Amino acid sequence: MTGAKILIGERVYLRPYTPADADLLLAGANEPESARLTGTQQTFTREQIDAYIQRNLQPGEDRAAFMFADVRDDRAVGEVVINEIDAANHAANIRIAIFTPADWGKGYGTDAMRLMVRYGFETLRLHRIELGVYEFNPRAARAYEKVGFQREGVLRDALFWEGVYYNMIIMSILVHEWRG
């Protein structure tokens, strides 16, 4: 295991980043299907990943980010990030990435989102957490709904990917809706 366990769930636990996570983060950031599902249209370098890890070693005023690992074997599976923290309005955005497609559909993401929403409401004292999910990713939308996120609206043609425009579904959860 690397790093202290911040919050422990049924399938995963949240932990701080470590420099040893760089290879996994680099591979995950450049995994083609993950990039499509998140709308990421750039390729990352090792230097960018190293700088990203350094930025995330300590929570900042505008973000809190953690790796999440399997509770059974301590294997890092992905990352979950609360960013764009708006302190005046007690609101923020959340995003998640599972690094390898072999780990998709196993409940890791839902459990990690539950833990990070808990962290956002209990530790960061947020009132609202929002996210965007592309229309071609219904599996993710269902996972977010399991956590308690509700669909609010659609940003039409928000992503241009390989010559086609796609809508982004906006979802949020408010502190009083959370079943933590």
Does the pLDDT of residue 3 top 60, yes or no?
A: no
Quickly list DSSP for 102-164.
Answer: GGTTSSHHHHHHHHHHHIIIIIS--SEEEEEEETT-HHHHHHHHHHT-EEEEEEEEEEEETTE
Does the pLDDT of residue 1 top 50, yes or no?
A: no
2 lies in some domain? no
The reported pLDDT for the residue numbered 57 is 86
**For residue range 33-75, what is the model confidence (pLDDT) as tens digits?**
998 999 999 999 999 999 999 999 876 889 999 999 999 999 9
Residue 108's pLDDT band (boundaries 50, 70, 90)?
A: very high
The reported pLDDT for the residue numbered 62 is 92
129 lies in some domain? yes
161 lies in some domain? yes
The reported pLDDT for the residue numbered 179 is 83
Does the pLDDT of residue 2 top 70, yes or no?
A: no
Q: What are phi and psi of 115, to 5 degrees?
A: -65, -40
* Structural domain count, the chain: 1
162 lies in some domain? yes
Find residue 172's DSSP bridge partners.
Answer: 130, 150
Mean pLDDT of 136-142: 94
Q: Range of 158's domain?
A: 7-177
77 lies in some domain? yes
The reported pLDDT for the residue numbered 60 is 81
The angle formed by the CA atoms of residues 113, 35 and 65, to the nearest 5 degrees, is: 35
CATH number, position 128: 3.40.630.30
Q: How far apart are CA 172 and CA 37, in angstroms?
A: 19
pLDDT over 90, % of the chain: 89
Comparison of pLDDT for 175 and 2, the residue scoring more: 175
27 lies in some domain? yes
Q: What is the pTM of this model?
A: 0.93
When the pLDDT of each residue in the chain is averaged and rounded to a whole number, the result is: 94
The reported pLDDT for the residue numbered 135 is 96
1 lies in some domain? no
Mean pLDDT of 128-142: 96
**For residue range 85-100, what is the model confidence (pLDDT) as tens digits?**
999 999 999 999 999 9
